[in-house]
Amino acid sequence: MSTLQVQRSCGDENELGTLTVQQALQNMLNSVSEKTTNEKTQLSSAIDRILTEPITSPINVPSHRNSAVDGYAINQADLAENSEIKTLNIIGQVVAGHPYTGQIQRGETIQIMTGAQMPSATDTVIMQEHVEVSGDTIRIDARHTAGQNVRQAGEDIECGQTVLQAGIKLTPPQIGLCASLGVSEISVKTPLTVAIFSTGDEVLSLGETPREGCIYDSNRYSLISALKKLGCDVLDMGIIGDDPEKLRHAFELAAKSADVIFTSGGVSVGEADYTKQVLSEIGNINFWKVAMKPGRPVAFGSINNATFFGLPGNPVAVMVTFYQFALPCLQKMMGLTSPLLAPNIKAQCTSRIRKLTGRTEFQRGILSLTDSGKWEVCTTGKQGSGILRSMSDANAFIILEHDRASVTEGEWVTVQPFSSLF
Ligand code: AMP
Ligand code: MG
């Protein structure tokens, strides 16, 4: 590669046609739309699936009045007043799942267990720790209030109430909530089908004998893992060498088989990168220089009906462009309306970071909470876009905004924790 090309690929804020990160993302979001349909699934297989219809409760929760504690069910008319002590006769016991069918008169009480249905004519429960038991009687004092320790029917959820909105990605408590309503089958979005391949003659599959000047393919593995985590059906097309015919065939096959195509490598200015040439012929693709580091060259567009993301080759640039650009687009294509990412936070930076204005940088950082409750972040060290260790050691991106210059120790920076990304 010539010196000129090396300089160009390092970023030049004044270069014509360079987009900001926000512009590139907006362009991409504007051109994608939902690509899924609906299907039914059993609730037990619904984790991480996207709900297509709101869930309304077919029942009251709780379905019956029940006791919130172990104790004694009484009628509030039998509560003691002022400094009075009252004695009530225990006439039976009621446990969860076995309603009490007998009658209860004034001056009488039923021993009741947590979750058991309140016997008719009772409306208040005295905790067992608050009574004095003597044979078949209890003594209660005046510190209790009418209706205490009773969960009313429909108190948590009323029959007909909407409990989950369409477009959310189901979490374990939401699955539990559906189960608590007796909902066993739900309608969810079909997964996106994503085809992916790596490009480059120097890239080796795992298991291949190492060759001089070659590297193992890491991008396909990091991307496939990320896509699977998002619930995509992945079509792994392996590695395609720098050969225009093989590339053309791979793109055509991918476009036939998938909703979305991901490639890595081949979108910069390297002489043996035929990706650009082939794509210009078969697709409607933009080749963007984005004012960002890492990840400057990004290709995006469509090949027939498939959306195409041509991510850079460098392993960190791949991850950064995937999370900053592809993830929000995939979210839209999947029909996910609830936010996938937690909000960014501000943390005090303990590293000094050199930066030029005119591009957004995504440094890899280690975020921690100090004993005094303040968020602090430092970089993971060397930040080269080929150093994947800078990502694997990190737990957050430090996002240095477009107009920001170098960061001195102690400055506050924007941090995007990985926990909301991975
Ligand atoms: P390219 O954009 O194809 O010129 O690739 C940029 C850099 O990323 C080169 O150093 C490539 O060797 C490297 N690279 C490309 N594809 C991969 C891959 N799948 N896994 C790891 N590194 C890669
Ligand atoms: Mg290449």
pLDDT, tens digit, 9 for 90 and up, residues 278-295: 999 999 999 999 999 999
3 state DSSP class of 348:
strand
Task: Tell me what pLDDT residue 15 has.
Answer: 62
Task: Tell me what pLDDT residue 269 has.
Answer: 72
Q: Which ligand is nearest to the CA of 201?
A: 2
Let me know: does 124 contact 65? Beta carbons within 8 Å.
no
Task: Tell me what pLDDT residue 272 has.
Answer: 75
Residue 127 makes CB contacts below 8 A (sequence gap 6+) with: 69, 70, 71, 149
Neighbours of 413 (CB within 10 A): 22
For residue 72, is pLDDT > 60? yes
Task: Return the percentage of the chain with pLDDT > 90, whole number.
Answer: 90
Rounded-to-integer distance, Cα 95 and Cα 162, Å: 31
Ligand 1: atom nearest CA of 312 is: 2
Task: Tell me what pLDDT residue 419 has.
Answer: 85
Let me know: does 138 contact 90? Beta carbons within 8 Å.
yes
Does the CB atom of residue 215 touch ligand 1 within 6 A?
A: yes
pTM of the model: 0.89
Neighbours of 236 (CB within 10 A): 14
Let me know: does 165 contact 338? Beta carbons within 8 Å.
yes
Closest CA to 32 of 324, 255, 333, 321: 333
Rounded-to-integer distance, Cα 346 and Cα 359, Å: 19
Between 14 and 37, the higher pLDDT residue: 37
Lowest mean pLDDT segment, chosen from 160-169, 335-344, 375-384:
335-344
Ligand 1: atom nearest CA of 264 is: 16
Task: Tell me what pLDDT residue 16 has.
Answer: 62
Give me the chain's average pLDDT, please: 94
Between 228 and 342, the higher pLDDT residue: 228
> What Å distances lie between residue 5 and 243, 270, 271, CA to CA?
22, 8, 10
The CA 306 to ligand 1 mean position distance, Å, reads 23
For residue 68, is pLDDT > 60? yes
Q: Which ligand is nearest to the CA of 200?
A: 2
For residue 119, is pLDDT > 90? yes
What is the SS3 assignment for 95-154?
A: ECCECCCCCCCCCEEEEECCCCECCCCCCEEEEHHHCEEECCEEEECCCCCCCCCEECCC
Task: Tell me what pLDDT residue 109 has.
Answer: 98
For residue 2, is pLDDT > 70? no
Q: In the structure encoding, which two tokens stand for residue 48, read together? A: 């991480």
Does the CB atom of residue 203 touch ligand 1 within 6 A?
A: yes
Task: Tell me what pLDDT residue 421 has.
Answer: 79
Q: Which of 219, 247, 387, 392 to mutate to test the pocket of ligand 1 (most atoms within 8 A of CB)?
A: 219
The CA 295 to ligand 1 mean position distance, Å, reads 12
Does the CB atom of residue 297 touch ligand 1 within 6 A?
A: no
Task: Tell me what pLDDT residue 274 has.
Answer: 86
Phi/psi for 330 (5° steps) reads -60, -40
Q: Which of 6, 9, 196, 203 to mutate to test the pocket of ligand 1 (most atoms within 8 A of CB)?
A: 203
Task: Return the percentage of the chain with pLDDT > 70, whole number.
Answer: 96
Rounded-to-integer distance, Cα 40 and Cα 42, Å: 7
Lowest mean pLDDT segment, chosen from 176-180, 271-275, 385-389, 392-396:
271-275
Rounded-to-integer distance, Cα 188 and Cα 104, Å: 49
Give residue 299's pLDDT band: very low, low, confident or very high (50, 70, 90).
Answer: very high
Residue nearest to atom 6 of ligand 1 (CA): 313
